[in-house]
Amino acid sequence: MSDRIHTLSGYFHEYQKSVTEPEKFWARIADSFHWQKRWDQVLEWDFEGPDVKWFVNGKLNITESIFEKNLFTHGDRTAIIWEPNDPNEESRNITYKQLYKDVCQFANVLLSKGIQKGDRVIIYMPMIPEAAVAMLACARIGAIHSVVFAGFSASALADRIVDCEAKAILTSDGNFRGNKKIAVKAVVDEALEKSSVDTVIVCKRTGQDVIMKEGRDYWWSECLEGISTDHKAETVDSEDPLFILYTSGSTGKPKGVVHTTGGYMVYTKYSFENVFQYSPGDVYWCTADIGWITGHSYIVYGPLLAGATTLMFEGVPTFPDAGRFWAVIDKYKVNQFYTAPTAIRALQAHGTEPIEPYSLDSLKVLGSVGEPINEEAWRWYYTHIGKSRCPIVDTWWQTETGGIMVSPIAGITPTKPAYATLPLPGVQLCIVNADGKELTGNSVEGNLCIKFPWPSMIRTTWGDHDRCKQTYFSTYKGMYFTGDGVKRDHDGYYRILGRVDDVINVSGHRMGTAEVENAINEHPLVIESAVVGYPHEVKGQGIYAYVICDMTNRTEENLVNEIKDTVSKIIGPIAKPDKIQVVSGLPKTRSGKIMRRILRKVAEGVTENLGDTSTLLDPEVVKEIIDGRK
């Protein structure tokens, strides 16, 4: 555990070393992993390409650092605790030894279906242990997994299948969420009407009826019959892709963020152990879904690389009641609890009564991720859940960063509500103004960039390297641009202010306004639309859509519902607009550009002093929009 930070001065010391001698710093950390062949050089990089390589020519398999390296020391330790949706259903405890067998066996299944190193495999599954087995089995054979959140629609799934040219899909019959039973395989079937794969493997979860297509679809349990639990890990290069994860940006369709193996492995374990101050024997619980980066890095890879016991929860925070999270914490004596501000706010709305039956004594660390946490939610979390004794780690990072970039080290970095505080070792932040000039010193505010590579950073966007360059490395020369606004206060602490681009964050789910507009525009009566975010008490941001449509023979109510259904169908229920306002025109400049600034203000409830409107083509439109505000 020599890589553990124990004191604040230790943090500053490590941080300093990571900046002055980054290669030496990361080599020391990487040396504690299992490498089949050590790297020739720690880092090769240029942000122009971008072309970033960590642990150059190192050979490894990430699952060997989870299993082979550790089975003698902690093979009998619980790797995954699985808590089902229904508290009356039996939970599962899977040891490292058992998980190893499951992963090896499923790796053999994948091979038997002709899946090879480098092939893309989509995982569209609920929160069941098999989903983690699926990810690790792909990694074991060197196949590239792409987990798609099981709440995405058939059409969104089809787009991803096509984009990464997936060879197989791993899925389930259905999914339990609260008191609902949701079809999963049926969505896959629908997606496969517009795309194709050779193989679909279906894990039985709900027992609902599904259609199985002969020669393409197989039951998970039947695939395992007679298959060996021994498997020698495939050798991959440090820079071979480990996974693709699709995420939204300000333009176009979601892009496939590519993470590679060596650097991601080193960084996720290092950041997990340090941020959460995880000690062997602790029970750690992250409530994210494996369909998001948080689930990848801090339910599966980081914790398992650290030999941790990671809890995987299938259900929702309010089923059977609003005390579910707290019941689960007491049931397993959870020590580190990591969730999203939106969940905290939603539970806060139920008051403290649902917490009363529970002691929450086991808790040592609370975490927050996904969106800015407002001060009120921070204080509620600190006081009522952490009983004023657990530090909160407000962790800022992104799908593209692979791991936590800015966060307190639990119990070591003094915290401040709503501040992600300080960068982790290896993370060289930089605040720039609109012209790209670095703002040095404290008490400054601007756009957040990162000026030096870190091991788990995005390498490319699948199939379109130029898009990666344009999106992240072109706005400010020689820097990775995060898309977030930030403030550095008088203490040098960082506070993330939210996105400065056309990306909105709804309940911690990232969405491009253009993506939602494109979905709305699919409705045959919609002529044009503009989507903006607005402050929402629980979700952080809500989706506000202004639409111009043909209203002949339609009531507004019908149309609004139809538009919501259209968006649900094209993206998924998470992208459904909260408010839809039918308008006769949109505020545009003479050159035809929509003035989103005005739309944003109106959606926020501002009706006066809308800023400069002199370039507007038709100022009357603004008046109408204000009058019809939802």
Binding mask 33-62 for ligand PRX (x = CB under 6 A): ------------------------------
List Cβ neighbours of 332 (8 Å cut-off, separation of 6 or more): 81, 83, 283, 285, 311
CB of 420 to ligand PRX, least distance (A): 5
Q: Which is nearer to ligand PRX, 163 or 371 (CB)?
A: 371
Instruction: Write out the binding residues for ligand PRX, residues 496-515 only, by CB under 6 A.
Output: 496, 498-499, 505, 510
Nearest to 578 by CA among 586, 589, 568: 568
For ligand PRX, the closer CB: 231 or 499: 499
Per rule CB under 6 A, is residue 342 in the interface with ligand PRX? no
Report the site for ligand PRX in 365-384 (rule: CB under 6 A): 368-372
Cα separation, 588 vs 613, whole angstroms: 10
Near ligand PRX by CB under 6 A, which window of 134-142, 307-315, 358-366, 476-484? 476-484
Q: Which of 81, 154, 293, 560 binds ligand PRX (CB under 6 A)?
A: 293
Residue 251, SS3 per DSSP: coil
Comparing CB distances to ligand PRX, the nearer of 81 and 286 is 286
What CA–CA distance (Å, rounded) separates 96 from 473? 40
| Alpha-carbon span 56 to 451, nearest angstrom | 20
- 303 contacts ligand PRX (rule: CB under 6 A): no
424 binds ligand PRX (CB under 6 A): no
Name which of 174 and 291 has its Cβ closer to ligand PRX: 291
Q: How far is the CB of 189 from ligand PRX (least distance, A)?
A: 28
**Contact of 235 with 59, CB cutoff 8 Å:** yes
Q: Which is nearer to ligand PRX, 78 or 247 (CB)?
A: 247
Nearest distance in Å: CB 495, ligand PRX: 8
- Give the whole-angstrom CA distance, residue 595 versus residue 529: 12
Does the protein bind ligand PRX through residue 409 (CB under 6 A)? no
| Least distance (Å) between residue 23 CB and ligand PRX | 26
User: In angstroms, rounded to a whole number, what is the distance separating the alpha carbons of residues 48 and 62?
Assistant: 29
Q: Is 339 in the site for ligand PRX (CB under 6 A)?
A: no
CA neighbours within 13 Å on the CB side: how many for 269? 23
Name the residue nearer to ligand PRX (CB basis): 203 or 393: 393
Least gap, CB of 72 to ligand PRX (angstroms) = 34
Q: Does 572 bind ligand PRX (CB under 6 A)?
A: no
For residue 20, the surrounding DSSP H or E stretch is helix 8-20
Determine if 484 is a binding residue for ligand PRX (CB under 6 A). Answer: yes
**Nearer residue to ligand PRX within complex by CB, 278 or 397:** 397
**Nearest to ligand PRX of 115, 245 (CB atom):** 245
* Smaller CB separation from ligand PRX, 102 or 371: 371
User: Smallest gap, in angstroms, from Cβ of residue 45 to ligand PRX?
Assistant: 22
CB of 245 to ligand PRX, least distance (A): 9
255 binds ligand PRX (CB under 6 A): no
- Min dist CB 298 to ligand PRX, Å, is 9
Q: Which amino acid is at 619?
A: P
At residue 348, the 3 state secondary structure works out as: helix
Given 5, 390, 420, 622, the residue binding ligand PRX (CB under 6 A): 420
Kindly give the pairing relationship between strand 480-488 and strand 494-499. antiparallel
The interaxial angle of helices 596-604 and 620-627, nearest 10 deg, is 20
Is 247 an interacting residue with respect to ligand PRX (CB under 6 A)? yes
Q: Name the residue nearer to ligand PRX (CB basis): 206 or 294.
A: 294
Binding mask 214-233 for ligand PRX (x = CB under 6 A): --------------------
Rounded-to-10 torsion of CA 257, 261, 265, 266: -100
- Examine residue 566 and tell whether it contacts ligand PRX (CB under 6 A): no
* Closer residue to ligand PRX, CB minimum distance, 420 or 479: 420
Stretch that binds ligand PRX, among 271-279, 305-313, 397-405, 569-577 (CB under 6 A): 397-405
Q: Does the footprint of ligand PRX cover residue 395 (CB under 6 A)? A: yes
Residue 136 touches ligand PRX, criterion: CB under 6 A: no
Structure-block tokens of residue 267: 């960084």
Q: Could you write out the DSSP letters of every residue in 87-115? A: TTS--EEEEHHHHHHHHHHHHHHHHHTT-
Looking at residue 585, what DSSP letter applies?
-
Give 294 or 447: the residue with its C-beta nearer to ligand PRX.
294
Backbone angles phi, psi at 423, to 5 degrees: -70, 150
- By CB under 6 A, is residue 410 in contact with ligand PRX? no
Closest CB 268 distance from ligand PRX, rounded Å: 12
In whole angstroms, how far apart are CA 23 and each of 43, 241, 593?
7, 21, 46
Strand 120-124 relative to strand 144-147: parallel, antiparallel, unpaired? parallel
Q: Please identify which residue in the block is written with the tokens 């790209």.
A: 436
Buried b (16+ CB within 10 A) or exposed e, 175-193: bbbeeebbbbbbbbbbbbe
Q: What is the edge-to-edge ordering of all strands in the sheet holding 429-432?
A: 429-432, 444-450, 480-488, 494-499
Measured from the CB of residue 150, what is the shortest distance to ligand PRX in angstroms?
Answer: 16
Minimum distance of ligand PRX from residue 511's CB (angstroms): 9
Distance CA 381, CA 281 (A): 24
Restricted to residues 79-118, the positions that interact with ligand PRX (CB under 6 A) are none
Instruction: For residues 406 and 404, give the distance between their C-alpha atoms in angstroms, rounded to a whole number.
Output: 6
Contact footprint for ligand PRX (CB under 6 A):
247, 293-294, 368-372, 394-399, 420, 482-484, 496, 498-499, 505, 510
